[in-house]
Amino acid sequence: MSATDKDLILELVRKYHREEEAQQEFVPGRTPILPSGAVFDEDDRAALVEAALLMRIAAGPAATLFERKFGKLLGRRKAHLTNSGSSANLLALTALTQPETGKRRLRPGDEIITVAAGFPTTVNPIVQNGLVPVMVDVDLRTYNTTADRVAEAIGPRTRGIMIAHALGNPFPAAEVRQLADEHGLHFVEDNCDAVGSTYAGRPTGSFGDLATASFYPAHHLTMGEGGCVVTDRVALAKIVESLRDWGRDCWCEPAASDTCNKRFGHQLGGLPFGYDHKYTFSRVGYNLKGTDLQAALGLSQLDKLPEFGAARRRNWQRLREGLDGVRGLLLPEPTPGSDPSWFGFVLTVAEDAPFTRSEIIAHLESRKIGTRMLFSGNLVRQPAYREVNFRVVGDLRNSDAITERTFWIGVYPGITGEMTDYMTATIRDFTAGRR
């Protein structure tokens, strides 16, 4: 295919996008308002098609470039693209169980402090590695835990902390970082729902020994599926890369063959001297790599992250001002010292409200306003965790309240001011009619 042919195809793709995605009129009560979703422009579609034309169907130069740019965005030395944020979490925590971590190596039965209310894939890697989750409660309104709760949970078997920023709202990561340093604990920062947020003037994802991100369509930028592990520690980065890439000992980039100049010059384990280093495996790993198709879209989306964050903040603020003083609902608040790139607008029905969560959700859904629970609610009440060994610190009262009375609505960049005004009016009309 000539360059001219490719240019023609890409121009047709852009034309197709403009026709397919032409702005549709918003009709209140008829046009669905999704709680989350991806926003694409013609550059995104063209980037994805161009990668397909080049047949970049595995990890390659686009993946490497994305890793470099995303790591730089967060001020981290190393970044490794994965096939999902859940895989990123699994790799980050599993890396800390490997022998190279020395005396601080996580071992079965060690405790990891986490929060009870959130998404399960923050906690699942703890369980999957034979470790014990220590569940702490969160605050209503910020939906994050506090440094005091984390400090209270530290016990003789505690070896680490793994917490997610709640719906784009940062937890007090600097204070948690300080606690981890004071007590010699590992700190994994789950940044999957908060890419673009800051705390204490620093990007979320820059505080943990390792931090993770997700690029699922609902998140702040998307590749369709995808995730990333970032760290400043080269030794940990090497472990993450090995675990991600089948557990192999070789660190060659895609399509490279002899980066170490000793491809046939190693003797490892019980293998004979000279066994091909590309097929030498130093740990029990996975195949959790991303692809150039994903990375091509991710690179295009990355350029729009500031614009996406501004839209999320604008929509959240418009809802917050429009719903100020509404009866029967607890409105969200940013964590002090933070600048969230909001994932959603969280609402909790007050205990004494003259209506239930089910009633207000049914009202909103009937008017085409999409809603979501705050993910799993209190994880210890989920059926999957009935036989999981965990420790609870405190009464998890707020996590229970979230399970029973909390939901959220959308602020993603595809939502317009007209839509947020309609959401505000619909909620106000509902609450005003309940006495």
For residues 158 and 79, membership in a common domain is answered with: yes
Residue ending a domain, among 294, 323, 345, is 294
Mean pLDDT of 415-435: 96
For residues 232 and 344, membership in a common domain is answered with: no
For residues 395 and 248, membership in a common domain is answered with: no
For residues 381 and 413, membership in a common domain is answered with: yes
Active site amino acids: 219
Q: How many CA atoms lie within 13 A of 83 on its CB side?
A: 10
DSSP class per residue in 299-359: HHHHTTHHHHHHHHHHHHHHHHHHTTT-TTEEPP-PPTTEE---SEEEEEE-TT-SS-HHH
Q: Is 386 helix (H, G, I), strand (E, B) or coil?
A: coil
Number of domains present in the structure of the chain? 2
Q: How far is CA 59 from CA 38, 184, 186, 247, 314, in A?
A: 23, 36, 30, 16, 36
In a domain, 38, yes or no: no
Q: Are 79 and 71 in contact (CB under 8 A)?
A: yes
**What pLDDT, in 10s, does the model give residues 28-78?**
999 999 999 999 999 999 999 999 999 988 999 999 999 999 999 999 999
In a domain, 322, yes or no: yes
Token pair in block for residue 258? 């002899």
**What pLDDT, in 10s, does the model give residues 337-374?**
999 999 999 999 999 999 999 999 999 999 999 999 99
Task: Look up the CATH number of the domain holding residue 380.
Answer: 3.90.1150.10
- Domain range spanning residue 334? 305-433
For residues 165 and 290, membership in a common domain is answered with: yes
Distance CA 192, CA 426 (A): 30
Looking at residue 258, its pLDDT comes to 72
In a domain, 300, yes or no: no
In a domain, 73, yes or no: yes
For residues 371 and 351, membership in a common domain is answered with: yes
**What pLDDT, in 10s, does the model give residues 150-178?**
999 999 999 999 999 999 999 999 999 99
For residues 131 and 170, membership in a common domain is answered with: yes
Mean pLDDT, the chain, rounded, equals 96
Distance CA 47, CA 297 (A): 6
Q: Are 160 and 106 in contact (CB under 8 A)?
A: yes
Radius of gyration of the chain (CA): 23
pLDDT grade for 375, boundaries at 50, 70 and 90: very high
For residues 282 and 311, membership in a common domain is answered with: no
Q: Answer yes or no: is pLDDT of 186 > 90.
A: yes
In a domain, 36, yes or no: no
For residues 372 and 261, membership in a common domain is answered with: no
**What pLDDT, in 10s, does the model give residues 187-228?**
999 999 999 999 999 999 999 999 999 999 999 999 999 999
pLDDT grade for 260, boundaries at 50, 70 and 90: confident
Q: Answer yes or no: is pLDDT of 1 > 70.
A: no
**What pLDDT, in 10s, does the model give residues 7-17?**
999 999 999 99
Q: Answer yes or no: is pLDDT of 254 > 80.
A: no
Q: Answer yes or no: is pLDDT of 329 > 70.
A: yes
For residues 201 and 85, membership in a common domain is answered with: yes
Residue ending a domain, among 226, 261, 294, is 294
Bridge partners, 112 (sequence order): 133, 160
pLDDT grade for 82, boundaries at 50, 70 and 90: very high
Task: Look up the CATH number of the domain holding residue 162.
Answer: 3.40.640.10
* Percentage of residues of the chain with pLDDT beyond 70: 99
pLDDT grade for 3, boundaries at 50, 70 and 90: confident
For residues 125 and 247, membership in a common domain is answered with: yes
Q: Are 255 and 278 in contact (CB under 8 A)?
A: no
Looking at residue 259, its pLDDT comes to 78
The C-alpha torsion from 46 through 52 and 56 to 57, rounded to 10°, is 130
Residue ending a domain, among 294, 324, 343, is 294
For residues 168 and 287, membership in a common domain is answered with: yes
Mean pLDDT of 265-283: 91
**What pLDDT, in 10s, does the model give residues 117-157?**
999 999 999 999 999 999 999 999 999 999 999 999 999 99
